[in-house]
Structure 1
């Protein structure tokens, strides 16, 4: 939370000072009248206003309204990160790569358009024009750790596949399978060529057999799920785990050296890459293709590894929770990541045991206990939890309207999500959208993530499930 005592903080009153939007000329002058007379008790100045100025304002109000409307800036036409780079990400993190509409999230490998695929009755269809080389689709976006789900069906004798962490570099790699592991899709019983279990549905093609896999017959829908987290990979087919393996282990290296992939030195090496859908010369259909990036934990539940304490306030681990508590100095204190982040999606859970005056900083830097950057507010009720404050700078950038103050659950666990991509900042509190805005200065910055304990003493906040997706 912010405080007028801290040079990095602003007025604790919600309407005690003109907003940064007014100061920047992007807020109506009329909307700032409440800052002049709204929250303050009457004084001689206030009486003068009431008796002399307000009657005059009544006469001038129509003119002022026209002036205010004329001074409003044109709405921003800058595309949001989602609309600029792909489909929108929902609050739950799922991104629909295909939802029955367009193929805008895809392109043909090595091209900048889509060829050989179409949308037919809300279904994504490979027309069967591809061969061993060419015809495959790849996502325009890349993914490192992720969970992917889709429905698929193939015709009699059909062959297709889903590949992941594919490197889109056709000048170096002729096909998507040169770099990306493949979840095989096949008509196991009627494929024209002889196949081994390593080439059947659900397998990690050429590497790991799908154990107990049961695919529905050609022409019927199947459900596939793929989870890749670090080096751990899991395949599901129709709700059943059929493959689990770990990239880069001695066992994996031995399988690579002994099989087809020995001649492909970059197979399975990329830590991030594209999702690919294969056109292997047979018509294949896909629907409900969605993906979500998986965050990694910033807190191991045991100690403060990966973090650095700034100040003399107390930071410790208790019963698997990270705890911040006022110390004898009752001063400002911070716990900051050793790692720097730029574009990210951060989720934390917090429980305000006492006072709860705190915050979550992003793209910030610290010198002792002087922090420069931006804070997603964590505060007692009616003090803008989820709002954004610039420390040692412009102060409040976005405060929370009164109707959203009730989303905070004081004395209970709360979930705060902070998403920063480019110059766009979004926050959610307990699943409710709180702020969504763009800021050029934020867009140019990067830095640490830091948790704050406010000065004044008597504060205790518990934290858990700190996870981040770095883009």
Structure 2
């Protein structure tokens, strides 16, 4: 197993390319994909009204470039929230990039980290690139792992390392986050936003290393050629910049995504993240023996999984339950199985990263024995799956929640 640990670590090597395709976050017509109060759509732009406060995206994002245009009125104040968890003040529960007519007379005594483009209260922006109130500005925000950068009208005005800021601002909750929703942070002043687009890219992967180890890609290129896309799923399971994206809204009879090829023994490595925001629900606490303890915890309900050998019972769960991802629910819940079987398919610990961040997973299936590693932690080790089929395809399963997959590689063992 040690060699698999080394391989998984090797996949963390930086080897990413500049993304090519951007997607709209605002359709120019209405606020589909956003929720909040005090914002309207006028002339193809999102406009903050006197009642405008927080308008947040319905989706979470991790590594991306956000492009937008904005227009200020005289003295207007707003903000762009990133890594926002959906509650509280985005400047502190997430991070806020200042959007401000800092040329206005009332702002002449601002502190350096309050001017336009600053990472509010932490990183000051360079001045001089902001156009006068009433003119459209072009802004790009790059959020890539540890790095945050802001470009305004073709000039880089802000750059920060989140790891360094986390040490400097130890009490700031938002700087510890590496994913979240995007938000406009209004103060009742009229500010307009248009052409809001996002370009996402997957986590870096040591492609040469995994190829040398005998793995073949299941998510390479610009299409889903390795997968069966059922009629009704074409616009819902898509490939964007190497990311397999599912929006949770397929109308196909078979909504899951199945590999065209069948596999016997294999090692599967892949990244995945929740792009969705789930509803709060109570979910059971599971003991090490695979039985419910009688306690429940309120979680944000999100649910998906990986079907092994074409079999729904042998599903490795990806979800936000207290027990953590990696569980094989179909076997744990089967009271006909031996106690040792049910205990073995229960994760040793919850190793999931915070919602919205990328998780790196390895599934090893040999005969009827399963091991699962999640974020360098062995959560399932040599668990038996009695009567699992000897061969079958791999399925990316879902329960109506938006989810991303990337760097999907498989080796037949």
Could you tell me the TM-score, scaled by structure 1's length?
A: 0.45
Question: What is the distance in 2 between the residues matched to 1:214 and 1:236?
Answer: 9
Using a 3 Å threshold, how does the CA distance of structure 1 residues 222 and 387 change in structure 2: closer, same or farther? same
Query: Whose radius of gyration is greater, 1 or 2?
Result: 1
What is the alpha-carbon distance in structure 2 between the residues aligned to residue 298 and residue 157 of structure 1? 45
Cα distance in 2 between the residues matched to 1:177 and 1:212: 21
Partner of 1:204 in structure 2? 119
Contact 1:235/1:244, CA 8 A, preserved across alignment: yes
Query: Counterparts of 1:10-409 in structure 2 under 5 Å?
Result: 93-108=21-36, 115-130=37-52, 135-169=53-87, 173=88, 175-193=89-107, 194-249=109-164, 252-254=166-168, 256=169, 262=171, 265-299=172-206, 301=208, 303-304=209-210, 316=212, 335=215, 346-348=219-221, 386=225, 388=227
Instruction: Give the drift of 1:180.
Output: 1.6
TM-score (norm: length of structure 2)? 0.51
Structure 1 207/145 Cα, relative in aligned 2: closer, same or farther at 3 Å? Answer: same
Gaps of 5+ in 1: 1-90, 109-114, 305-314, 318-333, 338-344, 350-359, 361-375, 377-385, 390-395, 399-414, 426-435, 451-466
Deviation at 1:299, TM superposition (A): 1.9
Post-superposition CA distance 1:350-381 (Å, at most 9, x none): xxxxxxxxxx9xxxxxxxxxxxxxxx6xxxxx
Give the drift of 1:281.
2.5
Do the aligned residues in 2 keep the contact of 1:100 with 1:119 (CA within 8 Å)? yes
Task: Specify the SS of the correspondent of 1:192.
Answer: helix
The runs of at least 4 aligned residues of structure 1 exceeding 3 Å deviation read 345-349, 415-418, 422-425, 440-445, 447-450
More helix by share: 1
Q: Do the aligned partners of 2:38 and 2:48 also contact (CA within 8 Å) in 1?
A: yes
Distance 1:94 1:292 in 2: 4
CA distance, structure 2, for counterparts of residue 416 and residue 273 of structure 1: 20
Structure 2: gaps (5+ residues): 1-18, 232-239, 259-303, 307-315, 317-360, 364-404, 409-413
CA RMSD, aligned part only? 3.6
- 8 Å contact from structure 1 (residues 164, 181) kept in 2: yes
